[in-house]
Structure 1
Amino acid sequence: MARTVPVRIAVAWVLVAVVAGVSGCGASAGDDEEPERRSFALEGRTLTVDSDDSALEIVAAEEHEAGAVEVTRWFEGSVVFGEDPKVTWSMKDDRLVLREKCSGVVADCSSRHRIEVPRGVTVRVLDGDGSVRAWGFEDPLHIKTGDGSVQVSDSSGALDLETGDGSVRVFDVASREVRAKSGDGSVRLSLGSVPDLVETRSGDGSVTVEVPRAGYRVEAEAGDGSVDVSVPRDASSSRRISAHSGDGNITVRTAN
């Protein structure tokens, strides 16, 4: 019985060393030099991407055959005490489901997916934990992530973007309607053409809206921060900008 305590101490130190070793060199999907690729048939004109824990790149690609979604997957992971990590992908009823299984006493995993979507498809993205980047869309794009940044560029379809914890960035777009929301993070929108509607809100972070010169009906309010509106204001305009922040500065200005 006298050896029990030293043995436990030794085991504890081994565990500490293992954890320290794993956490010191975290897994990165970018280290995967042989990504997997797969094509999924898409029967309708809408696609839902349902991911639990992955960084996502969503791209509108016109060179692919109609009705095909091309997916490239990078994955790196290790589990010291537990089942081997794995990732899965499947398509059912125009819903692409991406899952990562990585659990144990010492688990470290990272995944990334690039999803190339045929043009003319409305895309909805639901990501539990991971950043989302999208570009090239002429059709409506809906993105919601629980924890991660959202970035959209080179698009003209209506945008509806939301993150629980992360920044939202929109630039080089000609969308007529843009809705962007962050629970905890900054929001910055830079539009290349005059929009009909911009609605943006941040619970804790700054809000910046840049739009071409035109008359706008503007509503801007900050719970704790400054408000600077320099675009031409027209209370009777059909073009509307709404910007709100619970804790952060608000800027609505003409794009250079």
Structure 2
Amino acid sequence: MGILNITPDSFSDGGDFVSIERALEHAERMVAEGATIIDVGGESTRPGAEPVAEALEIERVVPVIEALASRIEAPISVDTSKPEVMRAAAGAGASLINDVYALRVPGALDVAAETGLPVCLMHMQGEPRRMQQQPQYADVVADVIAFLAARVAACEQVGIPRHRLLVDPGFGFGKTLAHNLTLLARLEQLAVLELPLLVGLSRKSMLGALTGRDVRGRVPAGVAAATLALARGAAIIRTHDVAATSDALRVYLAVAAIEC
């Protein structure tokens, strides 16, 4: 899954792809590099990020999704938590809802069910502006599993079937470095949910804490983390760095196929 942020303030690439033409060029480049899904977001969810009005988010993402739907064959995901953005994106050609709030915003469950689209439910403790202020867990893996299981049940109650759901443990969302490393080390335990697992580790601050690198220098660490995630059961890797990640995963999968 290649990341396409249509935002001025995302932590890694804010402002890089705010014009439709640049967004299209970048999406096409990511598909050529190996992305099989393009994830379009119009609101930054970095720590400390300010919320964006629903109308502005629609204004940012819908024209890009419409343009992408006519230019690329890869499915388009919309990275949003707002019900009306979900509805507008679905009408514009989005094929997946990727929600960091796991459909907890009022109205989101019903709208997601209405669209008929698959949904990725992510774990986050708190909300973006304050999520990194002393996050605490009894057991981070058990707590994440319990949260995601409850959100899956909420989806099923409004008529969203399990076969339309994915889950994301939410690396970096309300978690310390120790929490993130524990989640990655024990990622295979999320298999108990019996749902496809999406993982996003690309360029995140946990990689900076481990390596001392700035955002743009974290590609090797992100590739290593993505490969570890794949080995522990991830089905989809969400990344800014498609070419490097795709190459690493091809090597891993080629060797894994022989070992099996």
Specify if TM > 0.5. Answer: no
TM bucket (normalised to shorter chain) is under 0.3
User: Could you say which structure has the higher strand fraction?
Assistant: 1
| Greater RCO, 1 or 2 (C-alpha within 8 Å, sep 6+) | 2
Normalising by the residue count of structure 1, what TM-score does the alignment of the two structures yield?
0.26
User: Could you say which structure has the higher helix fraction?
Assistant: 2
